[in-house]
Amino acid sequence: MTESVDRQTAVLRLRAAQDILILCHKNPDGDTIGCAGALYLALKTLGKNVAVLCSDPIPSLYDFMEIGWFDSSFTPAFVVAVDVAGIQLFGDRNNVQKYAEHVDLCIDHHASNSGYAYETLLDPGAAAASEIMLDLVTDMGVELTPEIAACLYTGIATDTGCFRFSNTTAKTHMAAARVIEAGANIETLNARLFESRSRARLEIEKMALESLEYFFDGLCAMIYLTWDQIVTSGVPGAELEDLTSLPRSIEGVEVGLTLRQQKDGSFKISVRTAGRVDACAIARHLGGGGHSRAAGCEISGNLDNARYAILDEVRKELERWGMIDHAERNQG
């Protein structure tokens, strides 16, 4: 069982450590990479030997970050995980599991964090783990350089949908202001993060929309992609993450579901909700977790099994709030 620590304790641990390895979650998004990049640069400033490791390739979208990747040239003495809520989220490539089983410090903002690390710095009220990292870096006595600020802005902006999602708070905007003041070039970053799509990315979005289905009198919308479609497209998994917002963006939809088949045939399911509907409650009953408006899980079996399982949990949540009755259960 993990021991919860405050920011000051986390700072003491990091300042005392040497030979530090930073772990990201699989299918890395802007927050886990932004946190890793900022912490890497901060620790290098303090003269630490440090590197970053991830199970999956880093999308080219984030290759502007100056990150040193782990090449096994040293033996990690202190392992830090950033934005990783559970040990199953590390992935199984690049020998990540060897280090994931012995995480000394986890820095996270997911209320569903499983407590796998020896110590955990957790703030479920933070919109992004990068929001926590901003305070951590400054408490370490490290100057917020434009490079560190760009990493942190990436994490904050991507995890809030460029400040559109319900997790965005006044504190989030104040954090963004701090990194902008420190030199984050938001015009360049926003164009890169939110306004640029490859042709391959647009093609697979079209494939996903062709699978669009509605359930429960239009309160739920679902899209899915098969493994063959994903492989054929050539689009990295992490670059598919923003597809998860598509079903929920449709007028009248309270629950948006995105199903992506994995190499082993299982399905990664992303749940996005509006209003009172709790995305985490839906995903948690299937072994997943996340936030109240954005959560996910993985389900073994074929597409029909995955659809049935997730729709059953959506039905229960909609019934809980009186949004559907028994007669509407099976509407498609």
- Indicate whether 55 and 162 sit together in one domain: yes
pLDDT tens-digit series, residues 302-327: 999 999 999 999 999 999 999 997 54
- Count of the separate structural domains present in the chain: 2
Residues of the chain with pLDDT under 50: 327, 330-332
Predicted pLDDT at 331: 47
283 and 176 housed in the same domain: no
Rounded to two decimals, the pTM is 0.88
Compute the half-sphere exposure of residue 215: CA atoms within 13 Å on the CB side of its CA. 21
H or E stretch covering 81: strand 78-82
Q: DSSP label at 18?
A: -
Provide the CATH number for the domain around residue 225.
3.10.310.30
Domain that holds residue 48: 3-194
Do 297 and 182 sit in the same domain of this protein?
no
- Pairing mode, if any, of strands 20-23 and 50-53? parallel
Q: Rounded to the nearest 10 degrees, how much is the dihedral formed by the CA atoms of 175, 176, 178, 183?
A: 150
190 and 212 assigned to the same domain? no
CB burial string 148-180: b at 16+ within 10 A, e below:
bbbbbbbbbbbbbbeeebebbeeebeebbebbe
Same domain assignment for residues 17 and 154: yes
According to DSSP, the residues that pair with 107 across neighbouring strands are: 82, 121
Same domain? For 211 and 324 the reply is yes
Distance CA 287, CA 277 (A): 18
Cα-based distances in Å from 303 to 48, 101, 118, 239: 47, 31, 37, 22
Clarify whether residues 185 and 215 are in a common domain.
no
Q: CB–CB of 293/254 below 8 Å?
A: no
Looking at the fold, whether 184 and 216 belong to one and the same domain comes out as: no
Q: What is the CATH number for 141?
A: 3.90.1640.10
Do residues 19 and 73 share a domain? yes
Q: Are residues 15 and 117 in the same domain?
A: yes
Task: Check whether residue 292 and residue 173 sit in a common domain.
Answer: no
Instruction: Give the torsion sign (CA, 143, 148, 149, 153).
Output: negative
**Last residue of one domain, picked from the residues 169, 194, 219:** 194
pLDDT at site 327: 42
Q: What is the structure's pLDDT at 160?
A: 94
Residues 256 and 110 in one domain: no
- Residues 300 and 287: their CA atoms lie apart, in Å, by 11
CB 247 within 8 A of CB 221: yes
Structure tokens at 223: 């899209």
Select from 194, 219, 235 the last residue of a domain.
194
CA dist., res. 236 & res. 198, Å (int): 11
